[in-house]
Structure formats: C-alpha cells, structure tokens
Amino acid sequence: MSKMARNEAEAPMVIVDSQVHAYEANSPKRPWHSVPNWPDHVTGDEMVAAMDKVGVDGAIFISAFSLYRYDASYAVEVQRAHPGRFAIVKPVDPDDPDVADVVADWKKTPGAVGIRIMLTKEPRRAPDDPGLDRIARAAVRHDFPVNLHCWDNLDAGRVLIDRHPDTRFIIDHLGILQPRVPPAPPEPWAELPKVLELARRANAVIKISGACTLSREPYPYPDIWDPLARVFDAWGFDRCLWGTDWTRAFAVVNYEQAVEPFLRTSRLNDSERAMLMGGACAKAYGWSPTNG
C-alpha cells in the first residue's frame, strides 16, 4: 500500500519528509520551553515506526523550537540512533554574538544538513537585524541552507532573502500561517500571491509542508490541489519539498493522512511525484536516506 504510487518499472521512489519534529516526554532532564497541543512524546523510534507504516524512507528532523529552543541535543541523539533515516536541522539564535561559531560547530555534527531562523511576527525582529546577517553569512561559509520560518510575515522573509542573494533559503510551510487545530481559516490561501512572487528568487526553495492542514474539506483534502498547482507552476517541482510538519499538525491530521493524499492524487504524474516527495529535498539538503 505505502509503495502503491511508485513506478514499478523503475527504481522505487525515495520518499523524504522535509519536516518532522520528534521529541521525548517533558522531564527535568530535558524540560520543554512550552507545552504545545502535541502528543506527550513522539520519540525518534516512534517517528521511525510512523514513517515505516506509510513508506517514508527518511526525514529532515527539525529540532522543535517551541519545545527545546536552540538546544538540538535530542535531534543529535536520534540521528545517532537512526543515521540512515534522519538528517538534522538546528534553530540558531540571532541574539547570540557568537552565532557564527555555533554554525561552524553544527557543521561538524554528524547528520547536520542546515540551520533554521525563526522570523515570525512575534519576536518583532527586523529582517535587517545584524544577527540574521551574521547567520546568513555563516551559512554561506559553511555551505548550509537556511530554513526560514516566516509564515504570516512573508514581507520580512522576502527582504531577508533579497539581502543575501548568496545564501540558500528553504521557506518553511509554504510561508503560509497554518492552524494548530481545525478548522482552517476562512481564507487559508490569502497570502498565496506573495508566495508566488517569492518564486522569482533563485536562492530560495519552498517546503510544501503542512499543506493538508490548510484544507477546509475532509480527508483526502481535495481543495488543496488548485492552490498547490499554482505553487508548483511558479516554483517548479525541483524547488518544492513535500513534508508533513508532524507533529505540529497532530491535532489536524494524523501522519498517514499527511502522506497518502500526495501518493494517491491524480494531479501529479510519476516524475512530478518523485521530485516533490523526495528528489527536491535531496537536492536542497544534499542528503538522501539509506535504509541499510
């Protein structure tokens, strides 16, 4: 079932989830910064089991900022236990004057494939913040893509991307604010014109992560495909990285429901599906899973 959409005449399609968050239960050993509406734990082992159930070969494990802030130690532990299944990305702190050294150290970490900037509206951080500039320059030096979380703040994201044309950016979650609980907002795709305009930046790619949470219809979420088609047309499939954003999406969709619509839809042909669900991610991060 999980491999149903794969072209049997060729090598099996490699499926890579561009964004997952695994974590252990809240404890004094590694306390959570906040308590979101997520399961009590989704450990690395549990994440692998969920991926195995639906045929996901590997994932980019983004250390959960809402839980662990800039501490990616749990991601490092999980990657060490499952080196063929996860590559890891760490949020970095623009307020740290030594952030360039943090990026340099992260580059030496096994499985590390990128860093992340939080540029949502809440911190009120300007896109010309000197800390962001330090991070963007360090990313170029160490050949890291910068994951950019700027939903509901796309104008600031665009300014940052334009300030650093030599930095590779990976825009999280379509750049569109997504719900943590159902239902989706009345106009979930209101920011789509800004997303399409961003596609003109040659130094950016975009994650098609959490898209199912923007649906206002039941599973398998048929209303996502028309707006997504516009994204695919603007960005090209080689710059679109499918992902589930599990477990942030937990209260809206389960893991299988975030995977199967992309495997089953007739709106993608085999080559488009293979690029969207793995090829573009491997290209953007320079990493592919190994299930040995």
Token pair listed for 280: 């573009």
Give the separation between CA 164 and CA 174, rounded to whole angstroms: 20
pLDDT digits (tens, 9 = 90+) for 182-211: 999 999 999 999 999 999 999 999 999 999
Give the separation between CA 183 and CA 218, rounded to whole angstroms: 10
pLDDT band at 10 (very low <50, low <70, confident <90, very high): low
Q: What is the pLDDT of residue 5?
A: 46
Q: What is the pLDDT of residue 121?
A: 94
pTM: 0.95
pLDDT digits (tens, 9 = 90+) for 138-166: 999 999 999 999 999 999 999 999 999 99
Beta bridge partners, 205, equal: 170
Instruction: Indicate whether 34 pLDDT > 90.
Output: yes
pLDDT digits (tens, 9 = 90+) for 247-262: 999 999 999 999 999 9
pLDDT digits (tens, 9 = 90+) for 82-109: 999 999 999 999 999 999 999 999 999 9
Q: What is the CA radius of gyration of the chain?
A: 18
Of the given ranges (1-5, 18-22, 74-78, 240-244), which has the lowest mean pLDDT?
A: 1-5
Instruction: Indicate whether 263 pLDDT > 60.
Output: yes
Angle between helices 44-54 and 255-264 (to 10 degrees): 30
Q: What is the pLDDT of residue 12?
A: 86
CB 291 within 8 A of CB 14: no
**DSSP helix/strand/coil, 149:** strand
Mean pLDDT over all residues of the chain? 95
**DSSP helix/strand/coil, 89:** strand
